[in-house]
């Protein structure tokens, strides 16, 4: 018995020390990170000893108390041990209660509404994130730009299915749920470049559903915002004035096409869907076969992608609701844009 206790205690000390010495997490870049990392250490201190103790007692018993070969006698008849049972119920109960309480305190602290917070809308769709800043002239962006030390409330939506919004350096994570807006509060406190990662298996492009996060100073953030606002106004003016090419390119890059299709003109290189650099040739050839003009073919392929599958690509990957998501005018400009930048000599 003494031998087993000594071996177990040594294993507990070693196991706990190892678990605490491992650098589990990336850089801390939000005010919540400290608390969450501390909570993790508490969890390690509470759970590693239990695991190591149980395992070392079990292994010790298997090795030391093994029955001799040929020994077929029964073990001693034991009918419970009240003292032992009270101990092994009470200790875990206390441990779990302490963990629950500390988790609750940290969560409450993190989710507290901040006085000067700003709202950023996050929209997920297979397989891209979009961000807009409703309090700042409705600026839209494919990159998440945040000001250091400025609390943000993310309102997270999805266009199609479950995704999960996660910036590992901020530590906090929330699922996107169809038909719901989930909220999460973060105060970034370190200038730097990070990544939004989708952590819910959402289809073929799940692993590529990553986008840049940039935390900058308040001045840089303001400068970025006004630059984006100017661009946004430029976009609207050009849409009204008929600059089809830049409007079509905007739809392509901002409404999700670029996250799956490669197209040299839009500098996208994703390989989830077919590349579109020779689209106008394909559209001419396939359209002729189906009695459609190239534009009709491309429009039909956007509206019902599974009807126009090309070799090496499977049905059910491209969302089938782009006709609802985009306005008819947007689809028109997109089709014209795609046909104008693809094909021979491009």
CB 156 → ligand CUA: shortest distance, Å? Answer: 12
Question: Taking CB under 6 A as the criterion, which residues in 109-128 touch ligand CUA?
Answer: 127
Q: Which stretch binds ligand CUA (CB under 6 A): 196-204, 229-237, 263-271, 307-315?
A: 196-204
**Half-sphere exposure of residue 232: CA atoms within 13 angstroms, side-chain side:** 14
CB 196 → ligand CUA: shortest distance, Å? Answer: 10
Query: Is residue 195 within the footprint of ligand CUA (CB under 6 A)?
Result: no
Nearer residue to ligand CUA within complex by CB, 200 or 231? 200
Query: Is residue 197 within the footprint of ligand CUA (CB under 6 A)?
Result: no
Q: Which stretch binds ligand CUA (CB under 6 A): 198-206, 218-226, 242-250, 262-270?
A: 198-206
Give yes or no for a cis peptide into 155 (omega within 30° of 0).
no
Residue 189 in tokens: 């406190």
Residue 132 and residue 167 in contact, taking contact as beta carbons nearer than 8 Å: no
Backbone conformation region of residue 256, classed left if phi is above 0, alpha if psi is from -120 to 50, else beta: left
User: Exposure string (b/e) for 81-95, b if CB count within 10 Å is 16 or more?
Assistant: eeeeeeeeeeeeeee
CB 256 → ligand CUA: shortest distance, Å? Answer: 12
Q: Which stretch binds ligand CUA (CB under 6 A): 36-44, 103-111, 201-209, 250-258?
A: 201-209
CB 200 → ligand CUA: shortest distance, Å? Answer: 5
**Half-sphere exposure of residue 229: CA atoms within 13 angstroms, side-chain side:** 12
Measured distance CA(117)–CA(134) in Å, rounded: 13
Please identify which residue in 140, 173, 190, 206 interacts with ligand CUA, judged by CB under 6 A: 206
Nearer residue to ligand CUA within complex by CB, 52 or 209? 209
Residues facing 254 on adjacent strands: none
Please identify which residue in 29, 202, 216, 258 interacts with ligand CUA, judged by CB under 6 A: 202
The residues, ordered by sequence, that sit 6+ positions from 42 with a Cβ below 8 Å of its Cβ are: 99, 102
Q: What is the dihedral of CA 248, 250, 256, 261, to 10 degrees?
A: 60
Q: Could you give the strand order of the β-sheet that contains 163-166, starting from the edge strand earlier in sequence?
A: 144-147, 210-216, 192-198, 163-166, 173-176
Query: Is residue 163 within the footprint of ligand CUA (CB under 6 A)?
Result: yes
Please identify which residue in 32, 172, 198, 341 interacts with ligand CUA, judged by CB under 6 A: 198
Nearer residue to ligand CUA within complex by CB, 129 or 221? 129
Residue 13 and residue 73 in contact, taking contact as beta carbons nearer than 8 Å: no
Query: Is residue 334 within the footprint of ligand CUA (CB under 6 A)?
Result: no
Binding mask 126-155 for ligand CUA (x = CB under 6 A): -x----------------------------
Query: Is residue 212 within the footprint of ligand CUA (CB under 6 A)?
Result: no
Nearest to 254 by CA among 240, 235, 273: 235
Query: Is residue 209 within the footprint of ligand CUA (CB under 6 A)?
Result: yes
CB 180 → ligand CUA: shortest distance, Å? Answer: 16
The residues, ordered by sequence, that sit 6+ positions from 316 with a Cβ below 8 Å of its Cβ are: 306
Query: Is residue 200 within the footprint of ligand CUA (CB under 6 A)?
Result: yes
Residue 183 in tokens: 């909220």
Measured distance CA(329)–CA(112) in Å, rounded: 43
CB 127 → ligand CUA: shortest distance, Å? Answer: 6
- What does the binding site for ligand CUA look like in residue numbers (CB under 6 A)? 127, 163, 198, 200-202, 206, 209
């Amino acid at each position: 018995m003494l031998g087993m206790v000594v071996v177990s205690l040594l294993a507990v000390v070693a196991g706990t020390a190892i678990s605490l010495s491992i650098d589990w997490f990336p850089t801390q870049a939000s005010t919540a990170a400290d608390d969450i990392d501390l909570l993790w250490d508490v969890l390690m201190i509470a759970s590693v000893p239990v695991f190591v103790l149980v395992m070392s007692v079990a292994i010790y018993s298997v090795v030391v108390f093994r029955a001799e070969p040929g020994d077929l006698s029964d073990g001693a008849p034991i009918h419970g041990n009240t003292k032992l049972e009270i101990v092994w119920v009470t200790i875990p109960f206390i441990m779990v209660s302490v963990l629950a309480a500390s988790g609750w305190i940290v969560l409450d602290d993190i989710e507290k509404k901040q006085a000067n917070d700003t709202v950023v809308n996050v929209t997920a769709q297979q397989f891209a994130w979009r961000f807009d800043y409703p309090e700042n002239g409705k600026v839209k962006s494919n990159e998440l730009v945040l000001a250091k030390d400025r609390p943000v409330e993310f309102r997270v939506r999805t266009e199609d299915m479950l995704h999960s919004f996660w910036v590992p350096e901020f530590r906090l994570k929330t699922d996107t749920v169809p038909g719901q807006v989930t909220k999460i509060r973060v105060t970034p406190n370190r200038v730097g470049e990070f990544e939004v990662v989708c952590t819910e298996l959402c289809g073929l492009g799940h692993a590529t559903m990553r986008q840049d996060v940039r935390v900058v100073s308040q001045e840089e953030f303001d400068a970025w915002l006004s630059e984006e606002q100017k661009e946004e106004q430029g976009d609207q003016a050009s849409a009204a004035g008929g600059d089809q090419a830049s409007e079509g390119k905007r739809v392509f890059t901002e409404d999700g096409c670029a996250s799956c299709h490669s197209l040299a003109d839009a500098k996208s290189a994703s390989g989830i869907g077919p590349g579109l650099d020779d689209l106008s040739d394909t559209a001419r050839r396939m359209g002729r076969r189906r009695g459609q003009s190239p534009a009709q073919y491309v429009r039909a392929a956007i509206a019902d992608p599974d009807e126009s599958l090309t070799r090496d690509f499977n049905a059910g990957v491209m969302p089938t609701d782009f006709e609802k998501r985009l306005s008819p005018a947007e689809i028109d400009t997109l089709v014209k844009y795609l046909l104008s930048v693809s094909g021979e000599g491009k």
